[in-house]
Amino acid sequence: MTMTRPARRRPRPAGLLALCLAVTALLLGLAPASSAADPGWWNPTARPAPDSAINVTGEPFKGTDAQGRVRGFVDAHDHLMSNEGFGGRLICGKPFSEQGVADALKDCPEHYPDGTLAVFDYITNGGDGRHDPDGWPTFKDWPAHDSLTHQQNYYAWVERAWRGGQRVLVNDLVTNGVICSVYFFKDRGCDEMTAIRLEAKKTYDMQAYVDSMFGGPGKGWFRIVTSSEQARQVIEQGKLAVVLGVETSEPFGCKQVLDVSQCSKEDIDRGLDELYGLGVRSMFLCHKFDNALCGVRFDQGALGTAINVGQFLSTGTFWQTERCTGPQHDNPIGLAPAAAAEKQLPAGVAVPAYAADAQCNTRGLTELGEYAVRGMTKRKMMLEVDHMSVKAAGRAFDILEAESYPGVISSHSWMDLEWTERLYRLGGFAAQYMNGSEAFSAEAKRTDALRDKYGVGYGYGTDMNGVGGWPGPRGADTANPVRYPFRSTDGGSVIDRQTTGQRTWDLNTDGASHYGLVPDWIEDIRITGGQGVVDDLFKGAESYLGTWGASEKHKAGVNLAAGAPASASSAEWNPFTSYAPGRAVDGNTGTRWASNWSDDQWLRIDLGAPTPVGRVTLDWERAYAKSYRIELSTDGTNWQTAWSTTTGDGGLDTAVFTATPARYVRVHATQRGTQWGYSLNEVGVHGR
């Protein structure tokens, strides 16, 4: 094909002037200003007035990098709508209002005139709770990094974070029925699922609110997504992909009372189906209180004592502890007094004392909890493990490994770090709580080698409006402050101090007071922790979508052992039931093979013909093997060891190894973990 080169024209003076200005701007490192006639797709044409400023100039980056990967930061844990939970008056203010910023950013009515009745504020933050309740336009006392009861997620502040480079936001729909019931002020009921439904609706309403500023449905930057591909398309357009999650204590009504479950498998299926229909794609199965699905990872200090009181009020039992069996452990239970909470206990009932060397919750993943985990995998949803007890998280990992299911998330530093490689090996995603920049950077570097090993990015969990506390100021006199204005990580935007109404925030002196200061906090990380930490965070969007996409594409592997002929070195005799070898491959976890009570025993499975074998799962009954190996053979005579361990601890084991052709698979146990023999509920054999 022949191409004709157009004739060259002499540039007009105006064109030369524009060219010179553009070159000058590039040399000076300044962002080109948009004309009033062409504000740019990223600026709304109908923003309410008055409203918060964004204080970011420059076009948000679009598209992918040279390798086709999306870029951007991930907030894996935020609570946009928590003001709608807990009875509606625990978190004061709204993320948006059709009546404008003055209506959205105002305090709870009981906080006027001086915060004397800000009960939850002083329960969680100490002091007397007194503060200037006025939000817009003065914002004298809130939002602040240490105020846990005031709105931090105003939509324009989230917009600023997006403009600063964030591309994924997980909005965890959150509430707690017990906190709602005991809190003095509320304007609605305390049913958790009712609150979750409302928060989901309000998130869609916020999307429509933002769309209205940009010309109609689908035009705004705030996009709720229900698939990884949809999220990828949104990010490639330069917009923010919003994922719905759930963090609540009694999902589907699955509480327990005196250790008796208040829900069924049918409730779980109905609940998961409903949440999926609302657009929810990730969730916690337990949070703060033990429930019918799993035990929780404890809280510490006075807050831990208060939550333990709530545990009793909800379930009729306090947390119970035991010595941990491995290196992982739960948080120490708070032993500090929480007088306001303890007054809620019945007469004669007191929070128990706990042994210092017993730091693990006795409660793990229940049978219903296992059913819920498997139900989530069937629906391609991602499991949040942060609030699970060590015992529950360990069993959840066992199940996910047995299925080779990658959809596991640690979103805000509540998972024991000992699980990190296990999470990455599965294909999961990890984020750290929004700690101060120095602490965040130090923690990020602790796991940097693992991210390099698995080629993954990193995330943060702001947990804003989640009653957790946020980074305080490092001080105006620090040797290395954030210097305003600064450039965004991608280099395309210039970010100045954020102003709302009459208040201008500076991270150096105010700390991370609201969501709009996330870009400032990331700049502080770059200054204190180095570009490498920020680079890992900027890879977060691609890694999060990688976990999500792999979960969606996951297919349950064919169990080659199902119904296959099986033989064994021995089988325990019982006149009332059979423990024959075939019981370990009959697809029924209620039956089992059991050997004689001696060390050297084996179970052999005949697959019928040579086929690649790369993964074997073993569901042990209480009588497990401490030392055993997986052996493969093509002829039933000559065996090779494919995998072995000397540290077996029972439960559900998954042996993964290089796929090797074999007709026969043998579980060869050489050392018992108990006084009995070896007993397997079910053995699975898979090609990968």
SS3 assignment for 492-524: CCEECCEEECCEEECHHHHCCCCHHHHHHHHHH
> Could you say which residues of the chain have pLDDT below 50?
1-37
pLDDT of 338: 86
DSSP state at residue 56: E
Evaluate the omega torsion of the peptide bond into residue 581 and state whether it is cis, within 30 degrees of 0.
no
Q: How far is the first Cα of the chain from the last one, in angstroms, to the nearest whole number?
A: 50
Evaluate the omega torsion of the peptide bond into residue 133 and state whether it is cis, within 30 degrees of 0.
no
pLDDT of 224: 98
What is the largest distance, in Å, between two alpha-carbon atoms of the chain? 103
536 and 448 in contact (C-beta within 8 Å)? yes
Superfamily of domain 566-686: Galactose-binding domain-like (2.60.120.260)
Token duo for residue 257: 């009372």
pLDDT of 8: 34
Token duo for residue 573: 């005799």
Classify residue 577 as exposed, middle or buried by CB count within 10 Å of its CB (0-12, 13-18, 19+).
Answer: exposed
Classify residue 49 as exposed, middle or buried by CB count within 10 Å of its CB (0-12, 13-18, 19+).
Answer: exposed
Bridge partners of residue 57, in order along the sequence:
494
Model pLDDT for residues 85-141, shown as the tens digit of each residue: 999 999 999 999 999 999 999 999 999 999 888 887 776 666 777 899 999 999 999
Alpha helices in 447-574 (DSSP H): 448-454, 507-510, 518-529, 531-538, 540-553
463 and 433 in contact (C-beta within 8 Å)? yes
CB contact set of 27 (below 8 Å; sequence gap of 6+): none
Give the pTM.
0.91
Backbone phi and psi for residue 36, each to the nearest 5 degrees, phi listed first: -65, -30
Residue 58 Ramachandran class (φ > 0 left, ψ -120 to 50 alpha, else beta):
left
Token duo for residue 320: 């119970």
Token duo for residue 608: 């019928």
Rounded to a whole number of angstroms, the CA Rg of the chain reads 28
CATH 2.60.120.260 residue spans of the chain: 566-686
Q: What's at 185, amino acid-wise? A: F
pLDDT of 565: 98
CATH 3.20.20.140 residue spans of the chain: 73-295+363-553
Model pLDDT for residues 548-560, shown as the tens digit of each residue: 999 999 998 899 9
Token duo for residue 26: 């590039």
User: Which residue has tokens 């553009």?
Assistant: 22
Q: How far is CA 404 from CA 359, 368, 550, 589, in A?
A: 30, 21, 10, 19
Backbone phi and psi for residue 214, each to the nearest 5 degrees, phi listed first: -110, 10
254: closest CA among 304, 297, 289? 289
Which architecture, in CATH terms, is 73-295+363-553?
A: Alpha-Beta Barrel (3.20)
pLDDT of 3: 35
pLDDT of 468: 86
Q: What's at 176, amino acid-wise? A: N
Q: Compute how many other C-beta atoms are within 10 angstroms of the C-beta atom of residue 448.
A: 14
Measured over the CA atoms of residue 150, residue 156, residue 161 and residue 167, the dihedral's sign is positive
pLDDT of 38: 57
Q: How many alpha carbons lie under 13 Å from residue 102 in its C-beta half-sphere?
A: 4
430 and 450 in contact (C-beta within 8 Å)? no
Token duo for residue 168: 């994924």
